[in-house]
């Protein structure tokens, strides 16, 4: 190996010490305002949202015929929760040990070095930015459901504005298949190389809500969590009342067959529903803005996971008990179920709750995206001027606007199911890496103070690695566009590091 190649390899493997990160965070201009209640609000806001109000329908029915979990989606949820629990414990240990912004990106820099840190940060960007696009698309769907309840008041062009102006790819393709229409007549396409086409759908409602939340996040994190707290209260009230009201209409015959597509359907449901569990990761991205991160982060992460799993299982049992699997609507399953039993007024209330829930999810994902970008820019992998702090609000306003633009552009092209699956790849990858990092830090820094420790280590981290890796391999072998998109995203990250990040890091240090 020549001297230049050896130097490059050494730089790529160079690590940043835990103490450097902690000292750097102590000098941060970010305002420390969050307590354990705020962190729980952030976690619940992210987890109890898209999963319950949208993704749960796809997990039960399946993204394609004959692939859904049916009532056995509760098994899918338990498997997803178990895999998440091992990773949540790992996040709790490291986040309490290294309470700085950046989540798994920062932890990877300490354990695996510069190159892997950049790649993990790039994957986290996929997880949060694409997750935000998914939620924005779902938000539009529920807004349309709510507006339909006011069809006697609102003008017809508002109730029935074109599908391609609200990013409803699924409805467009379904209508074209049903009536024999040419899809090119119903929405615009961009011609790509090799004869490929990219559909374009301008999601006007999503653009609006992203802009509103961006302005709110620039104003301050504490103000944002207050709004999220109000939305979580409304959200939980709607969900609990759905379970209470719907339980009276449960017909046990609807639970049979319990697993119509066998274990394969359960696994498919697990992969889809896993999208809901990335919320607790968002908690660790706010570490630098937490008053007592060593104490509060672990409890908030684990508390979020346990509470939300119980809610998911309760909703799934009631939903699959109210109506047969074949009648479940994948776009707005809870609202549709209430209409099916004659509770039209309650369907409207669910749409309001769903909008509140999805708004809070958008808020948390947007926060996570900006804080990860902030950490990456601080380490000179991106232009440092984008991490400028607002003089009045003490928030990274340029990065916040940048992340908003990414979400808005992505919402033009991304289908709900594909973006959810793509986001899951980022989630599984970050969960695997965080479990590996616990094992590394136990060896490299055994004497460092750990306010929280993963029990039964190394067993639990190894189980987390195996479960999440198996899910990624399973989905990759089953095919689909999402696995190809994930590979493209990883290659893009590698190219950016080679062409810009590595050089900029050397020039800026």
Q: What is the pLDDT of residue 509?
A: 61
Tell me the C-alpha distance between 126 and 428, whole Å.
Answer: 12
The number of beta carbons lying within 10 Å of the beta carbon of residue 253 is 8
Structural element, H or E, at residue 504: helix 502-508
Q: What is the pLDDT of residue 72?
A: 93
Of the candidates 57, 103, 132, the one whose C-alpha atom is nearest the C-alpha of residue 429 is 103
**What CATH superfamily classification does 32-167+202-508 receive?**
Amino acid/polyamine transporter I (1.20.1740.10)
Helices and strands of the chain, counted as H and E runs: 23, 2
pLDDT tens string 30-80: 667 788 888 888 788 777 776 777 778 888 887 666 678 889 999 999 988
Strand partners, 190: 198
pLDDT tens string 141-181: 778 777 776 777 777 766 666 666 666 666 677 777 777 88
DSSP 3-state of 466: helix
Q: What is the pLDDT of residue 158?
A: 66
Which is more confident, 401 or 160? 401
Question: Residue length, the chain?
Answer: 509
- Angle (CA) 485-487-490 rounded to 5° is 110
Of the candidates 99, 31, 25, the one whose C-alpha atom is nearest the C-alpha of residue 287 is 99
Q: What is the pLDDT of residue 161?
A: 64
- The model's pTM is 0.79
Q: What is the pLDDT of residue 192?
A: 67
Tell me the C-alpha distance between 91 and 112, whole Å.
Answer: 16
pLDDT tens string 201-259: 777 888 888 888 888 888 876 666 777 778 778 888 888 889 998 999 999 999 988 98
Q: What is the pLDDT of residue 127?
A: 76
Contacting residues for 307 by C-beta, under 8 A, at least 6 apart: 44
Q: Are strands 189-191 and 197-199 parallel, antiparallel or unpaired?
A: antiparallel
Overall average pLDDT of the 353-378 stretch: 82
Contacting residues for 103 by C-beta, under 8 A, at least 6 apart: 91, 95, 124, 281, 284, 285, 368, 371, 372, 375, 430
Tell me the C-alpha distance between 167 and 205, whole Å.
Answer: 9
DSSP 3-state of 329: coil
Q: Is residue 325 over pLDDT 70? A: yes
According to the per-residue pLDDT averaged within each range, which of 190-204, 337-351, 456-470 is highest?
456-470
Contacting residues for 195 by C-beta, under 8 A, at least 6 apart: none
Contact 405, 399 (CB under 8 A): no
Tell me the C-alpha distance between 214 and 401, whole Å.
Answer: 7
Tell me the C-alpha distance between 417 and 420, whole Å.
Answer: 5
Binning pLDDT at 50, 70 and 90, where does residue 424 land? confident
Strand partners, 290: 34
Binning pLDDT at 50, 70 and 90, where does residue 318 land? very high
Q: Is residue 132 over pLDDT 90? A: no
Q: What is the pLDDT of residue 465?
A: 93
Average pLDDT across the chain, whole number: 81
* Phi–psi pair at 380, nearest 5 degrees: 70, 20
Of the candidates 119, 175, 148, the one whose C-alpha atom is nearest the C-alpha of residue 376 is 119
According to the per-residue pLDDT averaged within each range, which of 77-81, 316-320, 476-480 is highest?
316-320
Binning pLDDT at 50, 70 and 90, where does residue 410 land? confident
Q: Is residue 428 over pLDDT 70? A: yes
Binning pLDDT at 50, 70 and 90, where does residue 466 land? very high
To the nearest whole percent, how much of the chain has pLDDT over 70? 86
DSSP calls for 467-479? HHHHHHHHHHHT-
Q: Is residue 288 over pLDDT 90? A: no
Tell me the C-alpha distance between 57 and 330, whole Å.
Answer: 4
- Angle (CA) 317-463-368 rounded to 5° is 70
Of the candidates 311, 306, 347, 421, the one whose C-alpha atom is nearest the C-alpha of residue 48 is 311
């Amino acid at each position: 190996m020549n001297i230049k190649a050896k130097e490059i390899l050494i730089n790529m493997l160079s690590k940043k010490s835990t103490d450097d990160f902690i000292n750097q965070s102590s000098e941060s201009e970010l305002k420390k305002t969050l307590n354990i209640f705020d962190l729980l609000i952030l976690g619940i806001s992210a987890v109890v949202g898209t999963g319950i109000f949208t993704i749960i329908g796809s997990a039960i029915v399946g993204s394609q015929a004959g692939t859904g979990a049916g009532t056995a989606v509760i098994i899918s949820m338990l498997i997803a929760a178990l895999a998440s629990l091992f990773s949540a414990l790992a996040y709790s240990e490291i986040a309490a040990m290294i309470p700085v912004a950046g989540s798994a990106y920062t932890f990877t820099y300490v354990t695996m070095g510069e190159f892997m840190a950049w790649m993990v940060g790039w994957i986290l960007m996929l997880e949060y930015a694409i997750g935000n696009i998914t939620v924005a698309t779902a938000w539009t769907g529920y807004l349309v459901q709510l507006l339909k309840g006011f069809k006697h008041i609102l003008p017809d062009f508002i109730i029935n504005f074109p599908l391609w102006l609200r990013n409803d790819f699924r409805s467009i393709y379904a209508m074209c298949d049903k009536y024999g229409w040419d899809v090119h007549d119903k929405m615009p396409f961009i011609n790509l190389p090799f004869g490929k086409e990219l559909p374009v759908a301008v999601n006007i409602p999503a653009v609006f809500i992203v802009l509103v939340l961006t302005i709110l996040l620039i104003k301050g994190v504490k103000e944002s969590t207050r709004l999220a707290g109000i939305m979580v209260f409304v959200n939980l009230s709607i969900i609990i009342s759905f379970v209470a009201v719907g339980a009276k209409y449960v017909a046990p015959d609807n639970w049979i067959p319990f697993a119509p597509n066998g274990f394969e359907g359960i696994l498919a449901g697990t992969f889809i529903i896993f999208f809901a569990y990335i919320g607790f990761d968002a908690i660790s991205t706010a570490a630098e803005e937490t008053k007592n991160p060593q104490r509060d982060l672990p409890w908030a992460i684990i508390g979020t996971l346990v509470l939300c799993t119980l809610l998911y299982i309760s909703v799934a049992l009631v939903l699959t008990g109210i109506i047969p699997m074949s009648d479940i609507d994948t776009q707005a399953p809870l609202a549709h179920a209430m209409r099916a039993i004659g509770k039209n007024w309650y369907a409207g209330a669910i749409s309001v709750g769903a909008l509140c829930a999805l708004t809070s999810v958008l808020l948390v994902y947007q926060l996570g995206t900006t804080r990860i970008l902030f950490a990456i820019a601080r380490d000179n992998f991106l232009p440092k001027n984008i991490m400028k702090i607002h003089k009045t609000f003490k928030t990274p306003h340029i990065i916040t606007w940048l992340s908003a633009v990414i979400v808005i552009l992505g919402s033009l092209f991304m289908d709900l199911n594909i973006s959810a699956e793509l986001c899951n790849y980022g989630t599984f990858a970050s969960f695997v890496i965080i479990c590996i990092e616990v094992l590394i830090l136990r060896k490299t820094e055994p004497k460092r103070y750990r306010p929280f420790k993963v029990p039964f280590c190394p067993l639990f981290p190894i189980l987390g690695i195996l479960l999440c890796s198996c899910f990624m391999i399973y989905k990759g072998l089953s095919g689909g566009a999402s696995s190809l998109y994930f590979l493209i995203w990883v290659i893009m990250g590698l190219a950016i590091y080679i062409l810009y990040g590595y050089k900029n890091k050397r020039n800026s240090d």
